[in-house]
């Protein structure tokens, strides 16, 4: 009888537990369905595109969001065998938040502790004030102070990798505040499930009320993550990420890959923004190239692009792998349209190949000096130039014909677009992904012309792990070369996958150049791309050995094609009254407002951080407006000051000493703003004076300094 009673009691307990579980499940389903609908309305308001995706999303057949012992939702993600959480997801997430905020992981930019010797001789305004900022940091003598290890109650940015069902994010935002929250969840289904578990509506509404920006990268692939992230940075500024609290909520290979990519490219996210001197000379050059040089501007249409889609273009750069392909280029030079990028011109000349277009991009006077120093000017008079609006104005007249595109995003490009729109009621496009290197510009032109297939030769985006930095034909290997042409691979700290396996080493700009090429190729699916030689692998460009490049059948008279490209893809324009259009008074007003913001009192890290955020929003408000070019005049220099100042604010534990050092740096920034205000009145019409002689002198001083200090 005792055994029967025990069995019955066990059965009763089991039935009771089942009933309780069913009741919990029913209660959870009622609450979660209501929560889901509430969240959908919030996404409809704040993230309409994501709302549409959520509305149409169909989870897998075995999707099972089940209730836990604590009454909260849990999920076994697709492809996994274990649920995301244990019996109490909320308590589990709270413990994780406590652990990861006490010993926090930060993405930070290094602070300045020394001034390169050559910087002190560089007379450009930006460099002068950067030197003053570095010296202000050095004088503050904070480098021996303790570094912040626990997450402060306020921090500029939170990067959450893997949001799971949202419990950790809710807990985190209850205890800490951020200016920017970026959530990366590669599994769209898991995010969909979080709408039944977490009050996203409250998170989004509170973020709106607290002036907190939330960015959601949901269902992002490893390949698109960085591009999506760069898009966010371009909307709100690179200082939004310069001090990031990095939180991995859920494990997994995809999440780990996103984190690895974030930290590998953390420094790259602060490249390519230029600075005041770059921007204002680019503006001056654009105006002179249009009004004085009468350079026709690039205006492609789908009709004229379609005429070239059956033809082949060769983009030739000066990397070591060019040597593998010289004979192939020779064999096909009469049938392929050849774009020579930068110093590849010199290499091609040596083997008797005349390119159809020489491509140049750099704005300093060094570009003009390089041509005068290394190329027979009579030869250039028989050559076509493709360049961009910021080109040094003495360069285009050296050629038989010069056509230019807008480089974008640049002050000169935005100014040109606005003026062209006023005169012609037509949008003038900029080249897509045209930087940072001249090979990017050449590829961007070839792609924009609409060629059906494009071959890349010597476009290595890196150096062999052991070996030369450029083609053996390059001017960099000549014994009588100018000192400014000395090239070293010492800074090539990145390892990239090789085109045929193995690795190549690269500097940061080469990594960025490769990424931009991949983005351009991805956006041009109707063109076939071939990467010839043993440089870095380029995604979506077919790897080819030089011996496997097929001969090109003659389809049209090449010279007629080139002449047709020059006449049909370019148009002439002029800028009326540029002195009024450049916005001298508007820029002075902008500078005055930025100084007024900087003069506001601050008593905490957050107060100081808010000053920088206020300045940033004022500058970013100029985008898309009448004086939109002023955004580009100011944005780069602002980034160069805001990033280290923001890093400083959240780097050291001693808040009082930090704020004192911040004030010293902020004073330098105010002085710089005032100097730009005065300089801009005339600088908008002055050419760049940065010559080969200046570059060589600065290089010698820096090399001597490095040798002295080891």
Of residues 258 and 445, more confidence is placed in: 445
- C-alpha of 335 from chain center: 36
In total, the chain counts a number of residues equal to: 710
Comparing CA positions, the residue from 571, 568, 572, 570 lying closest to residue 308 is: 568
Domain of residue 374, residue span: 312-571
- β-bridge mates for residue 426, sequence order: none
Q: What is the pLDDT of residue 14?
A: 65
Evaluate whether residue 600 is within a structural domain: no
Question: Omega into 124 within 30° of 0, i.e. cis?
Answer: no
Please provide the average confidence, as pLDDT, over all residues in the chain. 87
Q: What is the pLDDT of residue 22?
A: 61
- C-alpha of 691 from chain center: 28
Q: Strand, helix or coil at 577?
A: coil
Per-residue pLDDT, averaged over 106-129, amounts to 74
Domain count, the chain: 1
- β-bridge mates for residue 185, sequence order: 218
Evaluate whether residue 72 is within a structural domain: no
Long-range pairs for 190-193 at CB < 8 Å and ≥24 separation? 190/75, 190/77, 190/84, 190/163, 190/164, 190/165, 190/250, 191/163, 191/218, 191/219, 192/54, 192/57, 192/59, 193/59, 193/63, 193/65, 193/73, 193/75, 193/165
Comparing CA positions, the residue from 245, 242, 225 lying closest to residue 184 is: 225
Q: What is the pLDDT of residue 142?
A: 82
Q: What's the per-residue H, E or C state across 619-671?
A: HHCCCCCCCCHHHHHHHHHHHHHHHHHHHHHCCECCHHHHHHHHHHHHHHHHH
- β-bridge mates for residue 499, sequence order: 501
Q: pLDDT band for position 694 (50/70/90)?
A: low
Q: What is the pLDDT of residue 491?
A: 65
- β-bridge mates for residue 405, sequence order: 388
Evaluate whether residue 481 is within a structural domain: yes
Query: Which residue is listed with tokens 């060629």?
Result: 451
Per-residue pLDDT reduced to its tens digit, 337-377: 999 999 999 999 999 999 999 999 988 898 999 899 899 99
Q: What is the pLDDT of residue 620?
A: 92
Q: What is the pLDDT of residue 528?
A: 96
CB 375 within 8 A of CB 346: yes
Evaluate whether residue 235 is within a structural domain: no
Distance CA 338, CA 316 (A): 7
CB 183 within 8 A of CB 163: yes
CB 172 within 8 A of CB 248: no
Per-residue pLDDT, averaged over 418-445, amounts to 94
Q: What is the pLDDT of residue 589?
A: 97
CB 269 within 8 A of CB 233: yes
Q: Strand, helix or coil at 678?
A: helix
Q: What is the pLDDT of residue 710?
A: 31
Question: What CA–CA distances, in Å, run from 321 to 168, 325, 491, 541?
Answer: 50, 7, 20, 16
Quickly count: other Cβ atoms within 10 Å of residue 341's Cβ: 30
Comparing CA positions, the residue from 678, 676, 683, 685 lying closest to residue 577 is: 685
Of residues 199 and 479, more confidence is placed in: 199
Q: pLDDT band for position 243 (50/70/90)?
A: confident
Lowest-pLDDT choice from 76-80, 504-508, 624-628, 706-710: 706-710
pTM of the model: 0.85
Q: What is the pLDDT of residue 706?
A: 34
Per-residue pLDDT, averaged over 226-245, amounts to 73
Reply yes or no on whether the pLDDT at 285 is more than 80. Answer: yes
Of residues 263 and 497, more confidence is placed in: 497
Q: What is the pLDDT of residue 328?
A: 94
Per-residue pLDDT, averaged over 630-655, amounts to 92
Backbone torsion region of residue 328, taken as left when φ is above 0, otherwise alpha when ψ lies between -120 and 50, otherwise beta: alpha
Question: What CA–CA distances, in Å, run from 424 to 15, 364, 416, 430, 571?
Answer: 80, 30, 12, 16, 11
**Percent with pLDDT over 70 in the chain:** 87
Lowest-pLDDT choice from 155-159, 255-259, 292-296: 255-259
In the 8-state DSSP scheme, what is residue 147?
Answer: B
Evaluate whether residue 545 is within a structural domain: yes
Distance CA 178, CA 89 (A): 24
Reply yes or no on whether the pLDDT at 399 is more than 90. Answer: yes
Q: Count how many Cα atoms sit within 13 Å of the Cα of residue 36 in the half-sphere of its side chain.
A: 16
Q: What is the pLDDT of residue 701?
A: 47
Lowest-pLDDT choice from 123-127, 190-194, 279-283, 380-384: 123-127
Q: What is the pLDDT of residue 90?
A: 95
For residue 488, the domain's CATH number is: 3.90.1480
Reply yes or no on whether the pLDDT at 17 is more than 70. Answer: no
Evaluate whether residue 453 is within a structural domain: yes
Out of 63-72, 111-120, 423-432, 487-496, give the one with best mean pLDDT. 423-432
Quickly count: other Cβ atoms within 10 Å of residue 581's Cβ: 18
Q: pLDDT band for position 709 (50/70/90)?
A: very low
Per-residue pLDDT reduced to its tens digit, 469-518: 677 777 765 555 555 555 555 567 788 999 998 999 898 889 889 999 99
Q: pLDDT band for position 163 (50/70/90)?
A: very high
Question: What CA–CA distances, in Å, run from 31 to 41, 50, 71, 172, 615?
Answer: 16, 22, 11, 22, 43
Q: What is the pLDDT of residue 700?
A: 55
Q: What's the per-residue H, E or C state across 284-321?
A: HHHHHHHHCCCCCEECCCHHHHHCCCCCEEEEECCCCC
Q: What is the pLDDT of residue 345?
A: 96
Evaluate whether residue 370 is within a structural domain: yes
Evaluate whether residue 502 is within a structural domain: yes
Per-residue pLDDT, averaged over 31-43, amounts to 93
**Crossing angle for the helix pair 125-140 and 276-291, nearest 10 degrees?**
180
- β-bridge mates for residue 387, sequence order: 404
Q: pLDDT band for position 152 (50/70/90)?
A: very high
CB 216 within 8 A of CB 232: no
Q: What is the pLDDT of residue 13?
A: 58
Query: Which residue is listed with tokens 């604010």?
Result: 649
Q: What is the pLDDT of residue 653?
A: 92
């Amino acid at each position: 009888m005792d055994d029967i009673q025990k069995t019955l009691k066990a059965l009763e307990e089991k039935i009771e537990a089942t009933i309780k579980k069913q009741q919990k499940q029913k209660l959870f389903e009622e609450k979660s369905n209501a929560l889901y609908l509430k969240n959908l309305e919030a996404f409809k308001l704040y993230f309409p595109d994501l709302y549409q995706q959520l509305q149409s999303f169909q989870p897998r057949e075995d999707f099972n969001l089940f209730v836990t012992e604590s009454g909260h939702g849990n999920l076994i993600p697709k492809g996994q065998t274990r649920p995301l959480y244990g019996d109490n997801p909320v308590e589990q997430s709270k413990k994780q938040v406590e652990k990861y905020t006490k010993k926090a992981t930060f993405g930070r930019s290094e602070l300045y502790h020394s001034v390169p010797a050559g910087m002190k001789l560089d007379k450009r305004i930006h460099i002068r004030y950067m030197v003053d900022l570095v010296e202000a940091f050095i004088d503050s003598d904070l480098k021996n102070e303790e570094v912040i290890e626990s997450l402060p109650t306020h921090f500029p940015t939170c990067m959450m990798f893997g949001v799971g069902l949202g419990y950790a994010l809710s807990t985190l935002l209850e205890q800490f505040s951020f200016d920017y929250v970026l959530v990366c969840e590669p599994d769209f289904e898991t995010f969909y499930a979080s709408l039944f578990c977490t009050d996203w509506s409250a998170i989004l509404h509170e973020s709106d009320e607290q002036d907190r920006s939330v960015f959601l990268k949901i269902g992002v692939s490893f390949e698109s993550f960085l591009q999506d992230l760069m898009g966010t940075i371009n909307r709100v500024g690179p200082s939004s990420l310069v001090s990031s609290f990095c939180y991995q909520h859920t494990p997994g290979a995809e999440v780990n890959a996103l984190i690895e990519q974030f930290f590998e490219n953390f420094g790259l996210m602060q490249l390519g923004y230029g600075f005041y001197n770059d921007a204002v000379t680019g503006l001056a050059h654009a105006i002179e190239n249009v009004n004085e040089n009468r350079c026709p501007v690039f205006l492609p249409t789908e009709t004229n692009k379609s005429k070239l889609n059956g033809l082949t273009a060769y983009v030739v750069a000066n990397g070591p792998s060019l040597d593998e392909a010289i004979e192939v280029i020779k064999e096909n030079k009469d049938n392929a349209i050849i774009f020579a990028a930068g110093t590849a011109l010199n290499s091609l000349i040596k083997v008797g190949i005349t390119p159809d277009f020489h491509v140049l991009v750099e704005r300093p006077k060094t570009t003009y000096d390089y041509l005068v120093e290394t190329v027979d000017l009579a030869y250039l008079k028989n050559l076509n130039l493709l360049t961009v609006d910021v080109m040094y104005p003495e360069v285009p007249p050296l050629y038989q014909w010069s056509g230019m595109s807008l480089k974008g995003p640049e002050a000169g490009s935005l100014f040109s677009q606005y003026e062209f729109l006023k005169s012609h009621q037509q949008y003038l496009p900029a080249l897509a992904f045209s930087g940072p290197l001249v090979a990017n510009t050449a590829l961007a032109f070839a792609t924009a012309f609409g060629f059906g297939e494009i071959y890349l030769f010597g476009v290595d985006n890196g150096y062999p792990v052991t070996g030369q930095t450029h083609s053996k034909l390059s001017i960099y290997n000549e014994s009588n070369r100018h000192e400014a042409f000395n090239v070293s691979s010492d800074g090539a700290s990145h390892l990239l996958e090789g085109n045929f396996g193995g690795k190549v080493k690269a500097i940061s700009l080469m990594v960025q150049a490769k990424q931009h090429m991949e983005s351009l190729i991805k956006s041009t699916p109707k063109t076939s791309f071939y990467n010839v030689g043993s440089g870095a692998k380029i995604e979506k460009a077919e790897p080819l050995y030089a011996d496997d490049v097929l001969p090109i059948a003659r389809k049209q008279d090449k010279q007629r094609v080139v002449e047709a490209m020059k006449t049909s893809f370019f148009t002439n324009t002029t800028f009326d009254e540029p002195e009024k259009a450049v916005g001298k008074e508007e820029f002075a007003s902008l500078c005055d407002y930025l100084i007024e913001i900087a003069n506001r009192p601050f008593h905490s890290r957050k107060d100081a951080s808010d000053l920088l955020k206020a300045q940033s929003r004022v500058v970013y408000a100029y985008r898309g407006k009448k004086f939109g070019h002023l955004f580009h005049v100011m944005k780069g220099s602002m980034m160069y000051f805001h990033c280290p100042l923001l890093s400083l604010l959240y780097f050291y534990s001693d808040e009082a000493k930090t704020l004192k050092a911040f004030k010293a740096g902020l004073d330098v920034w105010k002085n710089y703003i005032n100097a730009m205000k005065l300089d801009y009145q005339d600088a908008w019409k002055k050419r760049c004076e940065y010559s080969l002689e200046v570059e060589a002198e600065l290089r010698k001083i820096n090399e001597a300094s490095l040798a002295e200090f080891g």
